[in-house]
Structure 1
Amino acid sequence: MTTQPHNIVDAEMVESASGRSIDQQLLAAVHDSLKLLEELSRHRDRLGDEPTRTVQALIAESQRRLQRSELFVCVVGEKKAGKSTFLNALLGEALLSSAVRECTGTVTFIRPAREIGYRVVRAGGKEETFQSRYHDRTPEIVRAIEVARQACAKAVTDVDDLPRMIAETEQAIVVDQHRIVHEEQRLAKHQRALAQLEQQLELQQNEAATFRAELDAAGKALPFYVRNLADWRRPWNWPLQKMLVDPAGQAHIGQLERAREQQLAIEAQQKLIVSAQETIRLSQTSLDRYRQTLDEHQQRLIDLSLQLDYLPEHTVACGARLQALELELSQQGEVREQTFREHIRLLTDQDREGKDVEQLWLDFPSPRLPPGLVVIDTPGVNTNVEANARRAWQVIRGEADGAIVLSDLQQPVSGSTRDFVRALSGVMPHLMLVLTKVDRAMENAEILGESGEEQIEEARRMGEKRFAAEVGRDHRQLHSFTMAAERALRGDHPEWQQKFERDLALMMQILSHERPMIVAARAVVAIRQFTEQIRAASAAAEQAYRTTIAALEAQQIPDPVIYCETEVGKILPQIKRLSTVLASNGTSHLELKLSEVKSRIRQEITDCANSNQLRELLTNLQSRVERDLSYLSTSLQQELQSQAEGELRRIQNQLFAGLRERYRIVGEKFHLQVGEIASTTDVRTDVDMSDLAGSLAEKVQSIASSNMGGILGGAAVGAGVGSIIPGVGTVIGGLVGGVLGWMSGKSFSAVKEECASEVDTLFESVMESPIATMKQSAPSLAQNMCLAIQENLRVQVRHYRQWIAGVMEQERRRLQNERDQLAHLEALQQRLERQDQRLDHLMQLAASQSLGIVQRKRSE
C-alpha cells in the first residue's frame, strides 16, 4: 500500500466540509469495513474454513485494537545504535543498562505506572510478579501511618479542646445539681400531698364504718324485705314499692343512700392516692436519672483533668511514632526499589534468570512516558536465533500499533532492519525513525562555534533520505528525529534534555494520531486479499457449476432399451454356456429320476399278492404317477436353480457393474446413500411333467385294456366273481373277471411279470420325449435367463433414471441457490472495492495531516 501525501489544505478542507475530523471519518470507515468483512462469514462454504477464520480473527483483532485504551509501540534498533540508552532515557534512569544484550530474546513491555512492578512470563507459560517474589511491607506501613496521623490529629484536637470541654462539663454539673434540688423539692411536695390524702381516706373510712354499724343496728327492727332493698326499683317488684310508702321504710332508704355516697367518696379518694403515688414514682425516676448524669459528668471532669496533665506527652509520643513510621516507609521504599532493580538485572541477564524469560512486563513511574503508552522492546528482530525472531514478530504483529526504528546516523542500514521495514510497509503507513549517535555532530559544532541545532537538523534530513533509500521507501513515509538520548539520560545538558522531551512528545502525538491509520491499513490489506479470493471463488463457482451438471448428465442413461440390450448382449455367451451345462445336468437328473419311478412301479407290481391288489394298483396308477412326476418337476427345478445360482450371481454382478458404477460416482460426488441392486433371477425349463404323467397313465391304461381284450373268453367266470365284490362297477368287474379268467389260463406271477414288462416298454417309449426335450432345452433356458436378467435390469434402470433425475433437479436447485449467494458475494465484492478506495483516500488525508503536524511543530 502506498500513501502519497496530499496537500495539507486539502485535508483541512475535507475536515471542515464534513463536520468531522479525518480521524473520526477514518474510524467510521474502519467500522464500516469490519461490518462488510463480517458479512463474508455467510459464505464460509464458498470461501473455505481457513479464510473465514482469518476474517473472524481479523475482525476480533481490529475491534480489540480499537477498544483498548493503550497505544503499543515497538522499538527496533540497529546493532550498537544505542537502543538501551534510548529506552533508559524514556525511563529516566539507567534501569536497563545491563538488560539489553544482543543475544537476548526477551520481549519487554514498558508501561508507565504510579508504582514499580513487573510480571514475567517464562518458557512454558509460567508467570510470576514482583509481589510474588518480594514481601512488600509498604501497605502495612501506610496503614500504620494513617492510624498514627489520625491519633496525632486527635491528640492535638483534644489538647486544644480540653479547657472548653472542662468548662462545659463543670457547667453541666451545676445544671445537674440544680435539677436534682428542684426535683427533690417536687418529690417532697408530692409526698406531703400523698400523706394528706391518706389521712383523709382514713377519716372517711372510719366515718363510713361507724355509720354502717349504726345502719345495721337500726335495720334489725325492720322486716326482711326492707333490709334487702336491692331490687326494689325494678318494675316486677311493684308490691315492695307499695309497702315502702310508710315512714320507716322511707327513712331506711335515705340512710342507704348516704352509705352509698360515703362509699363513692372513699373510692374517689383512693384514685387520688394512686395518682399521687404515680407522680411520686416518676419524680423519683427523674431524680435518679439526674443523679446518674451528675455522676457521669463528675467522672468526665475527673478524666478531663487527668488528660489535661497527660495529653501534651501523648501528643509528643504520637508525633514521634508518626515520624518513625514515615522514616520506615522511606527506608522500605529504598529497599523496595533496590530489590526491584536487582530483580530486573537478574531477569534480563541471559547468563542468569533471563535465559528462560520470554516476556517481561515492566511497570515504572517515568515522567517522560505519557499515560496510555506501552513501549515494546523486541530485540529478537535483529538476531539469527529463530525462536527469538519468531517470538518478536509474533508480538509485533499481534500488539504493535506503531514502530520506532533506531539507526546510527553514520552507519548503513542492516539487512534485518530493511526486512523489518518492508514487512511493516503494508500495515504501518509511517515509521518513527530515531537517528542516534548525534553527539559527534554536536561536539563538532561546539568546537567550530556553530549552531548545533542547524548541524543536527541537516544531519537529520540527510539521514532520513539515506535510510529511506536503503530500505526502499519514500522518505515522506518516515517521521525522523535526532535524539541525544545519552545527554538526556545524564541530564547535564538541559537544552538537549528539553529537545529530547519535545521530540518524544511529538513522536507520541503522531503515533496516537496515526493509530486509526494503522488499524485501517490492516483492514485495507484484508479487503484486498478477500476481494481477490471472491473473484477466484466466483470463477471457481461457475466452473464447478458447469462441471457438476456435465458430470451428472454424463451419468444418465439416454435410451434404457438400447442400454439393456447392449448390456445383456455382453453376457449372452456366458448365458449360453451356462444353459448348455444346465440342460446336460438336467437331462442326467431327469433320466435318473424317471428310472427311479419306473423301478418303484415295477416293484409295486411285483409285490402285489393277488389280483385285487394288482387291480387297485393299476386303478390308482395315474394319480400316483402324477404325484411322483410333480415331485420330480420340483426337484428338477431346484436342482437347476441350485446349480445356476452362483454363476448367475456372478454374471448379474458383472451385468450391473456399469449401473453400480454410475450410482457410486453420483453418490460419492453428492454424498448420497445408494441402496443395493436386486440380483435374483429364476431358472425355468419347458419340460412339462404333467404331460408326462398323463401320457404315462394312458400307456398303463392301454396295457390293461390290451391284456383284458386278450382274455374275453373267460367273461362269464369273471362276471360271476365280479358280482360278489361290492362297490365294483360292471366294467371294473368285467376287467377283474377278465384278469382272473386270464389267470385261470396263466399263473398270477406270469401275469405280474407281463405287466412289469409292459411298464418297462411303456417307460422306454414315454421317457424319450421329456429327455429329448430336456436335451434340447439349452436355447430356451438361455432365453428364459436372458429375459429374466433383462427385465431385472430394466427395473433397475427405471429406478436409476428416476433417482438421478431427482438428484439432478436437487443439484440444480442447490447450484441456483449458490448462484444467488454468489450474486450477494459479488455485490459484497463491489462494496469492498468502494470501501478500499474510501479508506485509501482517508489514509492519504490522515498521512498529510501527520506531515503537517510535524512541519508546524518544527517551524515553531
Structure 2
Amino acid sequence: MPNSAQLAIDILQKALNEAPWIRPEEQAQIERRIVQIDKRKNDPRIFVAFIGEKKAGKTALVRALTGVPLPVAVRECTAAICEIQVGLEWYHEATYGSSTPERHFVPLDAQEQEEHLEDAQKNKKKLQKEAKDKFNLATKALHTAQSRVERKQEEKIQAQENCSLARKENQKALGNNPWIWSFLSILAWLIPPIRRRLDRIEETTIHYEQQEQKLAALTTELTLYKEEEEKKENEYTTAEEHQQKQNKKAEKILIQAQKSYSDAIEANENKFQSELTELIDVHQKPAERITIHTPNANIPNNIVLLDTPGFNTDLESHRRKAWEAIEELADVCILVSDLRQPMPDTALNMLDQLEPFCPFMHVALTKTDLALSEAEELGDNPLEEIEEAESVARARIKRHWDRPMNIWRISSIEEHDQKQTQSLFQDFWEQLPHNARELKTHLLSIHALREFMDILTVHIQIHKKSLSKIDVASDLAYAMAGQLEEQLPEIEHRTQKLLTRIQLEATEKIGSFEQQWIEKIEGCETKRTLKKQWEQLQKSMQQSYQGVAQELSQQLDYGARRIAGQIFKGEGEIEVQGNELSQTSTDVAEKEDQSQWMWTAGGIAAGATVGVILSSGMALSLIFAAGAGSMTRLLLSPLSKAKSNIINNIEKSAEQEQKNLQEQLNNLKEEISENVLQAAEEELRLQIQKREEEERKKQEDSLKEVQSMLADIMSKREELVRNRP
C-alpha cells in the first residue's frame, strides 16, 4: 500500500481514539474513509468507471465492450453499481445492504447434457476409428490382391513371351516340313546331323510344352487372383459404405447432444440475463452493487469496468450510489455523453466534483449513428455536424478539465459496431497508466484528511462559541438562584424531620444518663456513700446536660447544612448543564443511617455554619433550690427514703431538661429554615462559579487540542500533496 494511504489511515484512526468529542455521524464518515482506503491495500485491480447522465449510453457501451447482457431500455434503466471483469464462466453476486442477504447466480445443472455431449464425442471418435480401421484393412487387402494380380499378369505376359519364343525355336527346329522328320528318324543312328537335328527338335518341343504348361498355370492363378481381387473390392466398397454410415450415425448423435447442451447453455444465459435485469433495472428489485464475471470480455484480467446509474437520475439513492462508487473505486473515469447534446451543464458540474477523486478522465461521445441520421434528415452535412459537435464538447470540457484525455466517438451496439468499439478501446487498455491505482489511493487519502480538517474546523467554531456563552450561563445561574425560594416547603419539611430526629436523640441521650445516675444511687449502701455519690452527681449532671446541648447543637448545625447541600446536590440538586439550569429530586434523607448524625457538610463551603446554639442545665438548679433536694433533710431520712427522694429529683431534672430542649427546638424551626435557604443560595453561587471556571478551562484545553490536531493534519496533508506519485 502506498505510504500516503497508511499515513491517512493512521491519522484517522488516531482521531477516533483521541477525539471523543467527534459526533456519531462524523465518526461514521471517518470510519467509512478508513475502510475505503484500507480495502485498496490488497486489491491491485484497476477500476474504470463509466459515468454520465441517464440515457447517455453508458450501459450500451459497456455491453459492447464486455458482451454482458446488461438491461437497456428507452427509459432510465440502470439502478445498481455493476462491477464487470473477466472470469472463467458467467457469474454474478449481488449485494443489497445490511438487511437483505447477498444473492449470487446459481446456474441450471447442465452436467447431464455436458456428459452426454462428451459421450457422443467419444462415441463418434470410436465409431470413426472402428470404421476407419476396418476400411484401412479392406483397402490394404485390396491393394495386396491388386498387387498380386499385377504380378501374375506380368508373370503371364512373361510366360506368353517365353512360350512364343519356345514355339519359334521349336518351329525353327522343325523347319518348313516338320512331317519329314518322322521318316528321317530311322536314319538318325546312321547320320549324326540328322540325329542332332532330331535332338534339337525334341529339346525345343519339350521346352515349348513346358512353357505352355506354365502359361496355363499362370492363367489359372491369375483367374483366381482376379476373383480374390473382386472379392476384396466388394469388401472395400462394403467397408467404405460402413464407414460413411458410422460417420453419419455418430454425427447425428453428436448433433443431438450438442443441441441438448446448447439448449442448456441458452437456458442458463436466459436465466443469467433475466436475473441481471431483476438486479439492475430500476423498475425491478435492484441491488446496491453487483459483481459480474464474464468469459467473453475482451479486456485485461486486472481491469474492472464499472457501470453506474446516471448522476442526474431522479432518485437520490441512485445518485448517492453512483457517487460513492466513483469516490471509492474509480481509478479511471470515462464520461459518457450523447453526441447530439455534448457535455451538458450537469456533466460539466460532475467534472468539477471528479477532480479530487479521479486522476484520469476520458470522454466517450455516443450515438454517432443517430446523430448522422438526424443530420441527413435535416439536409445538413453529417460529417461536418459530427466534427462540430466534438469541437463543442472539447471546448466545454477544457474549461473544467485541463489534463490529457481521450475523446472517442461511439456508434450503436450492432455486431460490427461492437467489434469496432472493442478494437477502439484495445489500445486504451494496453496504455492505461501503471500507477492509476496508486494515484487514486493518494487522492482519496488527501481528500479524507481534507474532510477531517473540515470536521476539526467546525469543532473549533463550536468550542469558541461555547466559550462565548459561558458568561451568559453564569448570569442565568444567578437569576435562577432566586428560584430556591420555591424550595421553602421542602426545606420546612426537612427541617421538621431534622428537629424530630434531634429530639429523639436528646431523649435517648438524657434517658441514658438518667439510667446511669439512678443505677449509681441505687448502688449506695450507706448514707455516707449516698451523700458522696449525690454530691458528685450534681456536678456531673450539669456538665452532662451542657454536653448534650452542645453535641445536639453541633448535630443540628450539621443537619441544617446537610439540608442546604441537598437542595442543590442530590435531593433538590441544581446542576449547571451548558447554559441551562435543571433541578432533580430524590429522597436522600430517608436513606440516611438512623444512628449516623455526625454528617459532613454535604457540599457546603468549609467553615459555613447555620449559627444555632442550644442551652441546658437550667432545670437542675431550680429543682434543687425549691428544697426538694436539701441534703440535710435527705440525710435525716432513712436510707431507702433518701435514695427514693434523690432518684425522684434525677427523674424530674431529666424530664425538665428534655422539655426545655423541645421548646428551644420548636422556637428555632423558622430560624433554621431561613438560614438553610441562605446557605443554599450562597453555595449555589460558589458552585456555579466553580463550574463555570472548570467549564471554561475544559473548553479552552479542548480548543487547544483541536487546534493542535488541525495544525498537525494540515502539515501532513501538505506533505502528501507535495509528494504525489
Letter in 1 for 2:408: T
Contact kept in structure 1, 2:84 and 2:292, CA below 8 Å: yes
For the pair 1:485 / 2:485, whether they are aligned, the reply is: no
Partner of 2:20: helix, strand, or coil?
helix
Q: Identify the residue that residue 356 of structure 2 maps to in structure 1.
A: 426
Partner Cα distance (2:562, 2:55) in 1: 85
Q: Conserved in 2, the CA contact under 8 Å of 1:76 and 1:378?
A: yes
| C-alpha distance in 2 between matches for 1:355 and 1:780 | 84
The Cα shift of 1:529 comes to 2.4
Q: Secondary structure of the residue that 1:356 maps to in structure 2?
A: coil
Q: Secondary structure at the match of 2:405?
A: strand
Asked whether the 8 Å contact 2:108–2:267 carries over to 1, the reply is: no
* Superposition map of 1:269-668 within 5 A: 330-331=258-259, 333-347=261-275, 349=277, 355-358=284-287, 359-379=289-309, 381-411=311-341, 413=343, 417-418=347-348, 420-439=350-369, 459-466=389-396, 468=397, 474-477=400-403, 479-486=405-412, 489-491=414-416, 497-498=419-420, 501-503=423-425, 505-506=427-428, 509-510=431-432, 513-534=435-456, 653-654=563-564, 657=567
Segment drifting more, 71-80 vs 521-530:
71-80
Residues 438 and 624 of structure 1, relative CA distance in 2, 3 Å threshold? same
How far did 1:324 drift?
8.2
1:58 pairs with 2:33: yes
Is the CA contact (8 Å cut-off) linking 1:346 and 1:352 kept in structure 2? Answer: no
State the SS of the aligned residue for 1:374: strand
Deviations 1:110-164 (A, max 9, x none): 32223223345579635544435454546646876898899999999x99xxxxx
Change (3 A) 1:138 1:545: farther
Conserved 8 A contact 2:352-2:400: no
1:115 aligns with 2:45: no
Kindly indicate whether residue 43 of structure 2 is the aligned counterpart of residue 68 of structure 1.
Answer: yes
**1:91 has 2:66 as partner:** yes
SS at match of 1:684: coil
**Change over 3 Å in CA distance of 1:337–1:373 after alignment to 2:** farther
- Cα distance in 2 for partners of 1:701, 1:120 equals 111
- Residues 542 and 627 (structure 1 numbering): CA distance in 2 closer, same or farther, change over 3 Å? same
Shift of 1:328: 6.5
SS, match of residue 45 in structure 1? coil
Q: What is the distance in 2 between the residues matched to 1:825 and 1:514? A: 31
Q: Distance in 1 between matches of 2:431 and 2:391?
A: 21
Question: Which residue identity lines up with residue 718 of structure 2 in the other structure?
Answer: R
- 1:823–1:385 distance in 2 versus 1, CA, 3 Å: closer
Evaluate the alpha carbon distance shift between residue 141 and residue 516 of structure 1 in structure 2; reply closer, same or farther with a 3 A threshold: farther
Match status 1:692 vs 2:602: no
Deviations 1:397-423 (A, max 9, x none): 444433322212221555654554444
Aligned residues of 2:567 and 2:573 also touching (Cα < 8 A): no
Q: Is the 8 A contact 1:426 1:522 kept in 2?
A: yes
CA contact (8 A) 1:116 1:365 kept: yes
Distance in 1 of aligned mates of 2:630 and 2:540:
18
Q: Is the 8 A contact 1:622 1:694 kept in 2?
A: no
- Amino acid in structure 2 at the alignment position of 1:479: M
Give the TM-score normalised by structure 1.
Answer: 0.45
Decide whether aligned partners of structure 1 residues 651 and 31 sit closer, same or farther in structure 2, where only a CA change above 3 A counts: closer
Indicate the SS of the match to 1:527. Answer: helix
Q: Which amino acid aligns with 1:653?
A: I
Alpha-carbon distance in 2 for matches of 1:125, 1:658: 52
> Shift of residue 97 of structure 1?
6.2
Give the letter aligned to residue 65 of structure 2. Answer: L
- Residue 825 of structure 1 is aligned with which of 695, 702, 709? 709
Local SS of the residue matching 1:109: strand
Q: 1:427 Cα deviation (Å)?
A: 1.4
Deviations, residues 755-799 of structure 1 (Å, cap 9, x unaligned)? xxxx9xxx9xx99xx99x979x9799979x98xx99xx99x99xx
Q: Contact 1:119/1:129 (CA < 8 Å) preserved in 2?
A: yes
Higher helix share: 1
Q: 2:342, 2:365 within 8 Å by CA — same for their partners in 1? A: no
In structure 1, what is the Cα distance between the partners aligned to 2:665 and 2:373?
119
The alpha carbon displacement at 1:434 in A equals: 0.6
- Find the aligned partners of 1:74 and 1:513 in 2 and give their Cα distance: 16
In structure 2, the partner of 1:45 is: 20
Q: Residues 504 and 35 of structure 1: is their aligned pair in 2 closer, same or farther, counting only changes over 3 Å?
A: farther
* Letter aligned with residue 266 of structure 2: Q
Q: Per-residue deviation at 1:346?
A: 2.8
Structure 2 residue identity aligned to 1:63: D
Please say if residues 470 and 696 of structure 2, whose CA atoms lie closer than 8 Å, have aligned partners that are also in contact: no
User: 1:460 touches 1:482 (CA, 8 Å); kept in 2?
Assistant: no
Is this contact kept in 1: 2:110–2:265, CA < 8 A? no
| 2:106 equivalent to 1:131 | yes
Residue 692 of structure 1 aligns to a residue whose secondary structure is helix
Pairwise CA distance, 1:96: 3.9
8 Å CA contact 2:124, 2:251 repeated in 1: no
CA contact (8 A) 2:327 2:444 kept: no
CA 831–319 in structure 1, closer or farther in 2 if over 3 Å, else same: farther
Alpha-carbon distance, 1:37 to partner? 3.8
CA contact (8 A) 1:111 1:373 kept: yes
Q: Is the 8 A contact 1:30 1:520 kept in 2?
A: yes
Scaled by the length of structure 2, the TM-score of the pair is: 0.52
Aligned-residue offset at 1:490: 2.7
Give percent identity, aligned residues only: 17
Aligned residue for 1:234?
none
Q: Assess if the C-alpha contact under 8 Å between 1:433 and 1:478 holds in 2.
A: no
Q: CA deviation at 1:832?
A: 1.7
Label 1:382 to 1:115 Cα distance change in 2 as closer, same or farther (>3 A): same
Aligned residue pairs, count: 521
Q: Which one-letter code corresponds to 2:44 in the other structure?
A: S
Contact 1:484 1:500 in 2 (8 A): no
- Alpha-carbon separation, structure 2, partners of 1:822 and 1:435: 48
Relative to structure 1, the CA distance from residue 659 to residue 404 in structure 2 (aligned partners, 3 Å threshold; closer, same or farther) is closer
5+ residue gaps, structure 1, are 1-23, 160-314, 556-569, 590-615, 706-727, 737-758, 847-860
CA contact 1:136–1:336 (8 Å) conserved in 2: no
Q: CA deviation at 1:645?
A: 9.9
Cα shift at 1:522: 1.6
Range with greater deviation from structure 2 (58-67 or 344-353): 344-353
2:376 and 2:260 mapped to 1: Cα distance? 45
SS of match in other structure, 2:266 = helix
Q: What's the CA shift string for 1:488-521, capped at 9, x where partnerless? A: x4317xxx95575234542674476533332222
CA shift, 1:90, in A, is 0.9
SS, match of residue 506 in structure 1 = helix
Q: 1:360 to 1:323 in 2, by over 3 A?
A: farther
Closer, same or farther in 2 for the Cα pair 1:145/1:47, shift >3 Å?
Answer: farther
Q: Measured at CA, do residues 635 and 485 of structure 1 come closer, stay the same or move farther in structure 2, by a change above 3 Å?
A: same
Q: How far apart, CA to CA, are the structure 2 residues paired with 1:38 and 1:122? A: 28
What whole-Å deviation, never above 9, does each CA across 1:322-374 have from its counterpart, x for those lacking one?
97896567435522442234224433557999712425443222353322222
CA-atom RMSD, angstroms?
Answer: 6.8
